Structure 1
Amino acid sequence: MKRRDALKNIGLSLGYAAVAPSALSILQSCTSEAEKWVPQFLSIEQGEVVKSLVDLILPKTESSPGALDVNVPEFIDLLAFKSYNEEAQSKFLEEINAIVSELIKGKPAEFQIKDLKTEDYDALLASYLKTKPEDRKDYNTNQKLIFKGLNGLRSRAVWAFKNSEVVGEEILAYNPVPGNQKGCMDVNEATKGKGWSLQY
């Protein structure tokens, strides 16, 4: 099963039961061009890592946009900058720094983040997010931090992707003015298998 299909079946069911209006306003304000993006909370290098990871988690396909098309990295950066308290910001940075350190571990001293290849990011995601819970029992403190960071990044990316205007109106089932409610109706009949855009 391809990553995009897996997200449609599993990942897009993730999300928050309630969404703060301020978070949605941050999401809709993320309209910068990806090539010119300058993070407000993260460093340039940290932003590059986040950008590369979410691009692999939610890649663009022929039929749907990817995370970069709907400014997911910008949203994650702005969310941390505008919504997190100092403790949450500190924990988020600690997780991102652990991920960065793992990516450049064993590289020469002159190695830079921009020199990382897609394979480096893909290997990191596979080694942590494809593991079984029992395999994570023996993780050391740093490995637990990396897993928590990658898992949290994936959750934020999927949530931001789902709630972006483009995905909400063009990919998911969308009805801005709902009509009558039809209970016990098969989802394939109701929306051709798509989840609803407006869930809150």
Structure 2
Amino acid sequence: MDRRDALARVALLMGGTVIGADFFLSGCSSPGKPAAAADAPVAATGPLLDVDQIRLLDEVGDTILPTTAASPGAKAAHIGRFMNVMVRDCYTPADQNIFMDGMTKLSEAANKQYSKSFLACTPAERTAFLTALDKEQKAYTANKKADDPAHYFRMMKELTLLGYFTSEVGATQALRYLPVPGRYDGNVPYKKGDKAWATS
């Protein structure tokens, strides 16, 4: 599956477009920045986020897509490191600022609501907190004008879905995967509850 297919599938899952899609499709290089190799370690090209910020994003992602009996959660796909690379290499400077400010806003809001950090919250508190934040971003997105900035939590949610379902963990354990697909079959039997295909 190529980058364009992956992006289209994630956009379909979210019912909209993915922020920064133009950069994703053109090789993930913000204006004035060289594109990093896909398999390059984060530290080799200069991380945008520090270890604590990546840990926070791992836990946010794992709250959005938690571990279940059938598949591991987003943290197993190292979603924080993925977000670091994507925000650094694929977002415009303006969107990078929204994302970075958003992490601060998220942490401050969790502290205000629970008198402790997001990382110190229980799984139930994290879920309730992010559910309310998701409602906020949906209302904002539905009413925003074309030139208004994106909501930071929408960015986090999009990157969680994109990173997870295009990772090895997501593609092979959360979805059904054939490394070498055979002939096209447009009439494969499907039972309710079957996993979607990672390959086509």
Whether TM exceeds 0.5 here: the answer is yes
Pairing of 1:54-133 with structure 2 (within 5 A): 54-105=61-112, 115-130=120-135
> 2: CA distance between counterparts of 1:44 and 1:132?
26
SS of the equivalent of 2:159 reads helix
SS of the equivalent of 2:100 reads helix
Q: CA RMSD in A?
A: 4.2
- Give the aligned residue type for 1:188: Y
Q: Would you say 1:167 and 2:170 are equivalent positions?
A: yes
Displacement of 1:166 in angstroms is 2.5
Identity of aligned residues (%): 20
Unmatched 5+ stretches in structure 1: 1-10, 33-38
SS of the equivalent of 1:97 reads helix
Give yes or no for contact 2:98–2:152 (8 Å, CA) kept in 1.
no
Q: 1:49 aligns with which of 45, 48, 56?
A: 56
Displacement of 1:182 in angstroms is 2.4
> 1: CA distance between counterparts of 2:68 and 2:42?
20
- Report the counterpart of residue 176 of structure 1 in structure 2: 179
Q: 1:175 to 1:107 in 2, by over 3 A?
A: closer
- Report the counterpart of residue 190 of structure 2 in structure 1: 188
SS of the equivalent of 2:74 reads coil
Give yes or no for contact 1:56–1:122 (8 Å, CA) kept in 2.
yes
**Residues 109-144 of structure 1: CA deviation (Å, up to 9, x unaligned):** xx66654444442232122225696x669x9xxxx9
Unmatched 5+ stretches in structure 2: 1-9, 29-36
> 2: CA distance between counterparts of 1:171 and 1:42?
27
- Give the aligned residue type for 2:108: S
**Residues 48-98 of structure 1: CA deviation (Å, up to 9, x unaligned):** 332221111111122211111111111011211233332221121122222
Give yes or no for contact 1:52–1:118 (8 Å, CA) kept in 2.
no
**TM-score computed with the length of structure 1 as normaliser:** 0.63
> 1: CA distance between counterparts of 2:199 and 2:40?
18
Equivalent pairs, count: 171
Give yes or no for contact 1:30–1:71 (8 Å, CA) kept in 2.
no
